[in-house]
Amino acid sequence: MSTYQEMDYAQAEAMVAVAAEVRRERYAQHRKWGVQDLPDGEWLAVLTEEVGEAASALLRHRSATPNMHRRTDTLREELIQIAAVAVAWVEAIDRRGAE
């Protein structure tokens, strides 16, 4: 028996909205850095650095209950950046495959 469930409209809209945020972040990264064709080891370092920033954001504010909204916003921003870096890495892999 499958655990797959149909997605309701609100869930689908949320997914589209998050994907749009990741796309905007990717555009911002591209404007800042241009095309990045790094070796996989360097991509892993970049991605790990972003994950470290998310962990730091979470730990920095974990005991600050009054700042819960700020913590969530900061963590969310870092997670969008992580997703965008992962997309950039996949783009680089695809460019390598096309050569």
Rounded Cα gap, residues 91 and 84, in angstroms: 10
**Mean of the per-residue pLDDT values for the chain?**
89
Q: How many domains, the chain?
A: 1
Within a domain: 47: yes
**pLDDT tens-digit map of 54-77:** 999 888 877 665 656 666 788 999
Question: Would residue 42 count as lying in a domain?
Answer: yes
68 within domain boundaries: yes
* Residue 46 is assigned to a structural domain of this protein: yes
In-domain check, residue 86: yes
The pLDDT tens digits for 30-60 are: 999 999 999 999 999 999 999 999 999 888 8
Domain that holds residue 29: 9-98
**pTM of the predicted structure, to 2 decimals:** 0.83
Indicate whether 1 belongs to any domain. no
What are the C-alpha distances in Å from 50 to residues 47, 56, 67, 81? 5, 10, 22, 7
**DSSP 3-state of 57:** helix
Asked whether residue 2 is assigned to any structural domain, the reply reads no
